[in-house]
Amino acid sequence: MGQQKTLDSFLVFEEGIRRGENIKNNAVFRLDYIPEKIYEREQYRVIGREIGVHMGKGAGSHLLISGTRGTGKTLTVRYLLEESRKFAMERGIDLEVFYIPVRRFRNTYSILKEITSSKHGTPYDALTEKAKKKLEEKKIILALDELEFLEDMEILYFLSRETNAMVLAIVTNPLWVKKLEDSIQSSFQPEPIIFPPYSATELFEILRQRAELGLYEYDEKGIEILSAIVASRFNGDARYGILALKHLGKENKWDEETVNSAVAKSVRDLELLLLATLSHESLDLLSILATHPDGMSTTELFHTFRRKWDVSKPTFFTYLNDLDKQGLIGTGGGRRGKPYIVTLLLQYPELIKEELKRREVK
């Protein structure tokens, strides 16, 4: 019996080894991986040229970069920032670039603190003075990614009025900028650049390059099928393509059925990745919603949530807003005195419990 068990587990291990054998480099399949060369499209050139203007005369326009999920906004900007840093160094241009993920640095204070590498508790005025000085010393390019998460708009006012920094603002919805007050809009007037969803042909190029970097063996026909599915069913969101490619690479099977099941796994992977970034409060909110498949009114949800978390209504709505921005919940109704109905938008709601359990173990 004992002998049998050992043999079984040996077989399982061997299967695992075989499955992993085709992976040359796991890091390539992380969504924040930056390849040495990226697939270039028109927007890449436009942004690159404007960065060039800034490196030259220090007069690059602010840009408002928008596009739906997985259209390469973050990668393109991070890549160009890194390249411009190298270029400036080679040409002796005094340039400093910053990439600020606004989801992590949500207000003016924390962004200025990050830029100036200041200690926590530095008074606001001292911080703005320090930032002004630092941003005056050289040419500065500052990318603010996922700007929708910004809680106060002062930073945009400050950067456009008080400094010569070039701002690359990244959002999913180009109409977001309309929300800004007139006083900010009059000084922060970015040029719009829109990233359209990837076509199947573009996705094929991106995924073939990833396969080349990350796998020993792959099949172009299988990647073609995958690219077509992602373009038509996932609005060209490259994230699904990359996550599915990893599953295909592991199995090293490329027929249509395996591609379809890899795509289903990628949906699950992405939902789990999103849940892993949430606070415990937000996860609890989602787990309440998971028990109400038809949705809940905000009042009902607030009362249930309050049984565990003693938060004010505004704080509760901040959580809801955040989840909404991340596409994890949907809100409807709310007109003519009807209450807002909140619904969960996850395809795999059981992942919420899985994530909560994972945290307990940690």
Ligand X SMILES: Nc1ncnc2c1ncn2[C@@H]1O[C@H](COP(=O)(O)OP(=O)(O)OP(=O)(O)O)[C@@H](O)[C@H]1O
User: Using CB under 6 A as the criterion, which residues of the chain lie in contact with ligand X when the complex forms?
Assistant: 31, 33, 35, 38-39, 67, 69-75, 172, 206, 238-239, 242
173, 66 Cβ separation under 8 angstroms: yes
3-state secondary structure 5-61: HHHHHHHHHHHHHHHHHCECCHHHHCCCCCCCCCCCCHHHHHHHHHHHHHHHHCCCC
Q: Which of 77/342 has CB closer to ligand X? A: 77
- Residue 71 interacts, among Mg ion, ligand X, none and using kind-specific CB cut-offs from 5 to 8 Å, with ligand X
Applying CB under 5 A, among 71, 74, 108, 227 the residue interacting with Mg ion is 74
- Residue 69 interacts, among Mg ion, ligand X, none and using kind-specific CB cut-offs from 5 to 8 Å, with ligand X
Q: Which of 74/108 has CB closer to Mg ion? A: 74
Task: Supply the minimum distance, in Å, between the C-beta of residue 169 and ligand X.
Answer: 13
The Cα 350–Cα 71 span in angstroms is 28
The SS3 of residue 330 is strand
Distances (CA, A) of 213 to 18, 24, 37, 108, 216: 19, 7, 11, 39, 8
How distant is the alpha carbon of residue 307 from its chain centre? 32
Binding segment for Mg ion (CB under 5 A), chosen from 66-74, 268-276, 279-287, 305-313, is 66-74
What tokens were used for 205? 């190029």
Q: Which of 71/258 has CB closer to Mg ion? A: 71
- Residue 172 interacts, among ligand X, Mg ion, none and using kind-specific CB cut-offs from 5 to 8 Å, with ligand X
Task: Supply the minimum distance, in Å, between the C-beta of residue 62 and Mg ion.
Answer: 18
Task: Supply the minimum distance, in Å, between the C-beta of residue 135 and ligand X.
Answer: 25
The Cα 321–Cα 325 span in angstroms is 6
211, 249 Cβ separation under 8 angstroms: yes
Task: Supply the minimum distance, in Å, between the C-beta of residue 64 and ligand X.
Answer: 14
Q: Which of 23/356 has CB closer to ligand X? A: 23
Q: Which residue is nearest to ligand X (CB)?
A: 72
Task: Supply the minimum distance, in Å, between the C-beta of residue 145 and Mg ion.
Answer: 6
